[in-house]
Amino acid sequence: MFAHLFLYYPVTTYLLLGLLALSIGSLLNVIIYRLPLMLQSEWTSQCCELLNIPGESKSTPNLFFPRSYCPFCKHMIQAWQNIPIVSFCILKGRCAHCHHKISLQYPLVELTCLSLSLIAVYYFGLTLSLLYAWLFIWITICLCFIDIQHQLLPDSLVLGLLWLGLIANTQDLFTTLPNAVLSAVGAYLALWIVVKLFYLITRKVGMGQGDLKLFAAFGAYFGWTALPAILLMSSLIGAIVGVVYLRITKQTKETPIPYGPFLCAAGLIQLFYGKYIIMWYVGG
């Protein structure tokens, strides 16, 4: 049914899927903002319990309650003020209640989700692969923005991505299941060895555990042939962006820069152009 809809009404199909992608983008903004708060509250509670000290009796929002609110004045956002992209333009980028500037992250996430989701529709069509491509895109967007803001790659997202890759490849959507399993294990171990050797030589921690798990998730999705290209692309993107960022902000090379966003960017490139990249570097 969906294939026929796409065939005979492509414009309508893209419009409907675009509206869905914008709605998902709005949800991703909620996850990006609230998930770190939820983790911080959980860690604080665990520390208080371990140290046998009273914890703060402060309610922490979850992903569904309370309704969306301004992070500055805590005023509840009305439905018409929460329309993806449109509301940001109508409100001129400011809260309707306190008039504080709204972060550009919100329309940026929504536009990124819209663009990549529709590109995936064009690339994969209305197939089962599209579903797993969408989930890959949406999770990597969350990981990218959370890591930029908090230098954190939550296990709930990274490990979820790893399991999705393995489930997708039970149907051989991106690679075979044995390849996916072995690649996930091999990706983690290979990067873990590199990180340990780097620490032994420099006494500096080059990557966090989240980066290793994310690389393993990419192995589960794409298989071992994609991993060298992902590592190379993420390193090149990271080097270029890192140098530009340090020059602009006039900070030292000791300034920590999260590696997760560069891995995510390389993973998205692999999702759409991976087979062409592999054909190029094997000379096929």
CA distances (Å), 13 to each of 4, 114, 259, in order? 10, 14, 36
What is the per-residue pLDDT for 50? Answer: 85
What is the per-residue pLDDT for 58? Answer: 65
Q: Is 94 helix (H, G, I), strand (E, B) or coil?
A: strand
Percent of the chain residues past pLDDT 70, beyond the cut: 93
Region of residue 78 (left: phi > 0; alpha: psi -120 to 50; beta: else):
beta
What is the per-residue pLDDT for 56? Answer: 64
What is the per-residue pLDDT for 68? Answer: 81
User: CA–CA separation, 47 vs 115, rounded Å?
Assistant: 41
Please say whether the beta carbons of 133 and 185 come within 8 A: no
What is the per-residue pLDDT for 283? Answer: 60
Indicate whether 284 pLDDT > 60. Answer: no
For CA atoms 77, 143, 146, 122, the dihedral sign is: negative
Indicate whether 162 pLDDT > 90. Answer: yes
Indicate whether 1 pLDDT > 60. Answer: no
Residues 6 or more apart whose CB falls under 8 angstroms from that of 54 comprise 48
Average pLDDT, the chain: 88
Hey, how many other C-beta atoms are within 10 angstroms of the C-beta on 140? 25
What is the per-residue pLDDT for 114? Answer: 97
How is the chain split into domains, by residue range?
1-126, 128-284
User: CA–CA separation, 154 vs 144, rounded Å?
Assistant: 11
By the 10 Å C-beta count (0-12 exposed, 13-18 middle, 19+ buried), 187 is classed as buried
Q: 62-113: per-residue pLDDT in tens?
A: 887 777 888 888 788 888 788 889 888 888 888 888 888 888 999 999 999 9
Residues 6 or more apart whose CB falls under 8 angstroms from that of 42 comprise none
What is the per-residue pLDDT for 168? Answer: 97
What is the per-residue pLDDT for 253? Answer: 75
Average pLDDT over residues 36-49: 86
Residues 6 or more apart whose CB falls under 8 angstroms from that of 79 comprise none
What is the per-residue pLDDT for 281? Answer: 62
Please say whether the beta carbons of 161 and 167 come within 8 A: no
Please say whether the beta carbons of 221 and 165 come within 8 A: yes
Please say whether the beta carbons of 102 and 22 come within 8 A: no
Q: 176-230: per-residue pLDDT in tens?
A: 999 999 999 999 999 999 888 888 888 777 788 899 999 999 999 999 999 999 9
For CA atoms 197, 203, 209, 214, the dihedral sign is: negative
Helices 128-150 and 155-168 cross at an angle (nearest 10°) of 160
